[in-house]
Amino acid sequence: MLRAFALGLIAGAVYFTGTLYWITRVMMMYGGLQLWVAVLVNAALIAYLALYPAVFALVMRRLLAANGRTAMLAAPFVWTATELGRTHLFTGFPWVLLGYSQVTVLPIAQLASLVGVFGVSALVASASAALAFAALSATATAAPGSSRTFSVPRPYVPFTAVVAMIVAIAAWGSLRLKRSELTRQGDVVRVGLIQGNVEQSEREDPARQPAIFQSYLRMTRQAIGEGAELVLWPESSTPFYFEEDRPGADQVRTLARQAHVPILLGSDQIGWETKNGQRVPAKYYNSAFLVRADGTTAGYYRKMHLVPFGEYVPLKRLFFFAAPLVQAVSDFSPGDSAALLEVRLKADAAGDGTTASGERTHLMSTAICYEIVYPDLVRQFVVAGSELLSTITNDAWFGKTSAPYQHFAQASMRAIEEGRYLVRSANTGISGVVDPYGRVLVETSLYEPAVVVAEARFLTAATVYSRVGDVFAYASVVLTIAWLVVARRRVQ
């Protein structure tokens, strides 16, 4: 058992070191840590995440001891259970789940519209499990100490079944892509995406902030001139608190009012309270504001899932040796509501969603930064009525690493799951539009200023996943627990 746990831990450490290496750079450059301290902090995170593959290996060893190599058939469900745990335990960190490996293999990725990314993870795991079963069958008829009482399938049966399942899913997915019914439904909107390409050091330089803000206004005018009906700025794009800086906010409101175009922008927000008769700041939020076409504020959304070591430091006492990081990280508070934002657009000839005032009214949602990797959060938006998914982010922290590509790929999976267009504005890239089938309609390059105007649609149709959520993943947890209970009885 100890050997299985150790092997799982090593496998997890290799996987997460290869995919999360960039966190060390982030903590050095923006957390003020020395190299050895940054490596130590990142190693602690990787060690924690590696526990999930270790638990998977431990559970599988237990099942194999009780049932022989037939237990390999349970591997997809056990793996899915551990991924669900990683998504939710200790606020969760569901970065680079196994299913994301298929996000560009669009026929296979369509499975996410039924069972979410966890179901795609299970499919990938099932292919590995079938191969492992065949390999074990070639060397032994049953695991040592097995007390199974049922027959073992022939080596080729599970493999053939998995291949047939993959072929069937690919055929169905290809047909779904060919039909693309959602791309002909709903109300069309031309979205302008602003990519300011502002380095983090520039953003924090007071001398550069006025010029940065003016560049956003200029790029917004360009997008509107190219036909944008809705404009998105990235996360934390304003160099001031939007609600507190009247002159700066008024310039945004005036632009929206003059062009009659709503603007979604990212800005920090202060939560005030009254103490001893005085109004004092109590909390700080990473927020998104929607400015209506008449210049008023339609609403705001406060980020609910904060970035560990970026927006808060978990277990501060444990990471006492990373004092500069604790001091450098903004101490944000999480929001508590998956708020939607009402978008009012000019009426069109079709009159889709047109109100008595002659406007088209729709609901959209926005996920800030890495919130987009939480499937259930995005589903909450859709269940509440979101017709368009948006995400705003500042990926300047990542530098020229694989992280921005990972982030964009994971965001794309949300479009497939929910059957919604996804529009993404990123400070340094990748900005883009993804259709409800995961096809990237337009995307920008990294570290280049860009103004993108592209079509998306407000949609209301529901996918199976948006209706039932992570039922498959939770069923995998139940099955794993049940198998462990049965295995315990067999080995006693």
Q: What is the pLDDT of residue 123?
A: 98
Query: Quick one: which of 206, 223, 203 has its CA closest to 453?
Result: 223
Is the pLDDT at 77 greater than 90? The verdict is: yes
Domains and CATH numbers, the chain: 2-181+477-491 (no CATH), 186-460 (3.60.110.10)
Span 78-94, mean pLDDT?
94
Q: pLDDT of 458-471, one tens digit each?
A: 999 999 999 999 99
Q: What is the mean pLDDT of the chain?
A: 90
Is the pLDDT at 313 greater than 90? The verdict is: no
* 3-state class (DSSP) for residue 305: coil
Q: Give strand ranges (E) for 44-129.
A: none
Span 335-344, mean pLDDT?
94
- pTM over 0.75? The answer is yes
Residue 107 · residue 168 · CB < 8 Å: no
Is the pLDDT at 74 greater than 90? The verdict is: yes
Q: What is the pLDDT of residue 150?
A: 45
**Residue 369 known to be catalytic:** yes
Q: pLDDT of 18-69, one tens digit each?
A: 999 999 988 888 777 889 888 998 999 999 999 999 999 999 999 999 988 8
Q: What is the pLDDT of residue 239?
A: 85
Q: pLDDT of 159-179, one tens digit each?
A: 899 999 999 999 999 999 999
Span 366-382, mean pLDDT?
96
Catalytic pick among 83, 229, 311, 369: 369
Q: pLDDT of 176-189, one tens digit each?
A: 999 999 999 999 99
- Compute the distance between CA of residue 369 and CA of residue 264 in angstroms, rounded to an integer: 14
Return all residues near 223 (Cβ < 8 A) that are at least 6 apart: 192, 193, 194, 231, 451, 452, 453
**Residue 235 known to be catalytic:** yes
**Residue 303 known to be catalytic:** yes
Q: pLDDT of 247-279, one tens digit each?
A: 899 999 999 999 999 999 999 999 988 888 888
- Compute the distance between CA of residue 412 and CA of residue 443 in angstroms, rounded to an integer: 11
Query: Quick one: which of 304, 289, 383 has its CA closest to 337?
Result: 304
Catalytic pick among 229, 303, 418, 443: 303
- Compute the distance between CA of residue 346 and CA of residue 163 in angstroms, rounded to an integer: 50
- Compute the distance between CA of residue 79 and CA of residue 57 in angstroms, rounded to an integer: 9
Q: What is the pLDDT of residue 349?
A: 46
* 3-state class (DSSP) for residue 96: coil
Query: Quick one: which of 111, 117, 173, 182 has its CA closest to 376?
Result: 117
Span 118-122, mean pLDDT?
98
Span 383-404, mean pLDDT?
95
Residue 132 · residue 75 · CB < 8 Å: yes
110-124, 144-158, 327-341, 361-375: segment of lowest average pLDDT: 144-158
Would you state the structure tokens that stand for residue 91, as one six-digit string?
């606020």
7-11, 149-153, 435-439, 446-450: segment of lowest average pLDDT: 149-153
- Compute the distance between CA of residue 392 and CA of residue 407 in angstroms, rounded to an integer: 12
Q: What is the pLDDT of residue 329?
A: 54
Is the pLDDT at 143 greater than 70? The verdict is: no
Place of tokens 């492992």: 132
Residue 448 · residue 197 · CB < 8 Å: yes
Residue 264 · residue 233 · CB < 8 Å: yes
Catalytic pick among 83, 229, 235, 371: 235
Residue 219 DSSP label: H
Q: Where are the alpha helices (DSSP H) in 353-426?
A: 375-384, 403-418
Cis peptide before 10 (omega within 30 of 0): no
Is the pLDDT at 326 greater than 80? The verdict is: no
- DSSP codes joined into one string, 239-279: SS-TTT-HHHHHHHHHHHHHHT--EEEEEEEEEEEEETTEE
pLDDT band at 137 (very low <50, low <70, confident <90, very high): confident
Is the pLDDT at 203 greater than 80? The verdict is: no
The amino acid that residue 145 corresponds to is G
Residue 308 DSSP label: B
